[in-house]
Structure 1
Amino acid sequence: MRTLKTVFGQNIKPNLNRDMKVECIRTSLDNPPLDSINHNLDEYLTIGDSFLVYGIRFAESGRYVYIYDGNHLIEAPISLFKIIHDLTPKWKIKIWENMEITFWPELFYESDFLENFAERESEERQLFSDLQLEIEERFD
């Protein structure tokens, strides 16, 4: 029998070849660090909603997950969520010059991908749609 693992301080069930999935448990942080980003997502998140995770970033300002709300790829503090399914083995880890660590699908490391996606460029939207479909199929 498999035992529970701890990721980000949370006990979780073994992956069983699924991607990471989180459930929103709060929509904002109380007393966030001054350099944290997106610490109030009241307009974007609803408690109880679940999201596939498209990346993780470890920064001095905090730990973040990348979720998709149907319109935006949102970088949100991990502490707004509980982990339903743990990490995927298909992502790449990179340590940046500023010592931040990212754990993303390879697509996110392509030049200007995240910026172009945010600007709703059609090529990046299609590439993301393909990635989203691939990840969602693993949950069926």
Structure 2
Amino acid sequence: MPDVSLFEEAIEGLKNGVYPALGVTIGPYQVEPGAHIAKADAPYISWNALSPALHWAQPGLRIELPGRELKSSVPFIAEYTGAGPPPGAAPHRYVFLLYSQKPGSAVPNQNSVGVLSRMRFDIEGFKKKLGLERIEAVNHFSSS
């Protein structure tokens, strides 16, 4: 089973002020850290056999002014996919992590992360492959 302690540590770091909150908008929702959002937009937290699941990976994010929105002209690595949790499942969770990347690090081609490899996602291996350094901002929400 992949180690998910990074996600727990990132959420704690957000709560304790170690990391700033990453602004995230999903559909009509402006995600406040720890918010509860409608089931149709939620991922699995209770299906530990499949966790963690990668729902999106976007390189090349830059702050665009005014408004300080993150934008990218680089194709995604893993296109955003929402999830439809099964009926009766326990609350599910998304964790968003914004990393800095070593200058000159390679960025894989668009959609280089296949559907099956998104399940039980190896975040540590992915960080090494992309030259990701430190977490810059965090956000998360739950849903049931």
TM-score range, shorter chain: under 0.3
Q: What TM-score comes out, normalization by structure 2 length?
A: 0.25
Higher relative contact order (CA 8 A, sep 6+): 2
Higher strand share goes to which structure? 1
